[in-house]
Amino acid sequence: MKDFLWGVSTAAFQIEGDDGKQGRGKSVWDSYCEREGVIENGDNAKITCNHYEKYQEDIALMADLGINSYRFSTSWSRIFPEGIGKINSKGVDFYDKLIDGLLEKNIQPFLTLYHWDLPQALSDRGGFQNPDFPNWFAEYADFIASRYGDRVKNYCTFNEPINAIATSYYAGVFAPGHRLNREQALGCMHHMHLAHVRAGKILREKNAHVGVAMSTFEEYPAVLTDRCIDEAKTQFFKRDCPLNSIDVYMDPIYLGYYPKWVLERFPDFAEKTALTREELKDVVSTYVGYTTYSGRPILENGQEMQRPLGVAKSVLGSILDSNGLYWGPKFLTERYKLPLYVLENGIACADWVEKDGCVHDTGRIDFLRQSLEVIERLRKEDVDIRGYFVWSLLDNFEWLRGYSCRFGLIHTDYESLKRTPKDSYYFYRDYIKNIGKKV
């Protein structure tokens, strides 16, 4: 499959850095980092990997890795410092150079418009709560399409909508840290859906592919019985809280309507969105994006199967389990019947540059080996899977955990900013090279 995308993923806020002279506006995560006790060790992303200045070195590393696609996000506030209106030419030029550099190395850009870094200026005006949010996002998308649409053909509008809404506006865990009531947060979600449709229409005019990168709770059947599979599938899409239910986020933008149970259970939400829900019927999505890091085995009685003592875990506590990577695409394909990209898959490990100057991250290699076996299995079955992206290219700023954990195929020294490819980098490179020989 020559058109299959083998790639890596990053996010602007996590790798780019900002020395205060780049013209970038403040984002909600900049503000969140300033709150005492929120980010581990008081870390911030002012420098992180300094990808803004070292992008050429990073592109060279990607080319050596052998990938044919790179998923990255544009920083909304780097292009529009105030969210709308005036353009920052330095930011615009940076992404021009990045995209051109990728294409020179035959690496397709896969552009994410929103990876959680809402401009602070728009957050001050209500952010997702404001009914004008879909228009703000459409203005941003229109500029992206006009400027880069001749070279970029794959777009992700929103990264992990559950985190963008439920975790950020309801649970108050991610920036901007709001704790709205359920109905208010549902309103934020609806504005995100409208934003996706309006931006998607603009991008589709450039003959682009459009979708979202959806995270789930990664349920899968613990045993292969019809009853167990049905139970796992039910839990995969629907949970007690609508703000954590995959169907409430995905059905509107992939099927054109909300699940019936949500409108019945929340009549105020149904009434307030009655007119604008008509806009969702114009489905602009052309693919399903999936992000996955583990799996949750569900028994026939609906309970999660207990794990044995000493089960393998990442440094963040996620269990090494590639079944979520297998069953998620199966469930999503059955429901939405669209091509699918695995846009994030990775593991946080305790790795470091050892005395020999190398990073021997055997745990990550084992994770990748298991994941890639699943991808090969899916490609042979009834799943139209079009790409696989490892999270992440570089060790970087990991949101609330700051610099305390590492996901990269490449080690970042946060003092010198030296890049050191890990053993997993070479493992993935060899895998891609050998896959290419089989095509």
415 is catalytic: no
Residue 296, both tokens: 């949750």
- Amino acid identity of residue 183, one-letter, is E
Which secondary-structure segment (H or E) carries 288?
strand 288-291
- CA distance linking residue 163 with residue 153, whole number of Å: 25
Tokens 């870390």 -> residue:
43
DSSP-derived pairing of the beta strands 385-391 and 410-412: unpaired
Q: How far is CA 225 from CA 233, 234, 294, in A?
A: 12, 14, 21
**Helical residues (DSSP H) of 309-361, grouped into ranges:** 323-336
**Helical residues (DSSP H) of 6-119, grouped into ranges:** 12-15, 28-33, 51-65, 76-79, 89-104
Q: Which of 218, 219, 231, 344 is catalytic?
A: 344
- CA distance linking residue 89 with residue 191, whole number of Å: 29
Burial 400-437 (b: 16+ CB within 10 A, else e): eebbebbbbbbbbeeeebebbbbbbbebbbeebeebee
Pick the closest to residue 170 from 252, 248, 272 (CA basis). Answer: 248
Contact 59, 107 (CB under 8 A): yes
DSSP-derived pairing of the beta strands 419-421 and 410-412: antiparallel
Residue 246, both tokens: 């995959």
Q: How far is CA 229 from CA 73, 144, 266, 303, 375, in A?
A: 35, 41, 29, 13, 20
Contact 58, 419 (CB under 8 A): yes
Tokens 């615009």 -> residue:
92
Q: Which of 16, 160, 219, 398 is catalytic?
A: 160
- Amino acid identity of residue 78, one-letter, is R
- CA distance linking residue 206 with residue 275, whole number of Å: 28
Please give the positions annotated as active site: 160, 344
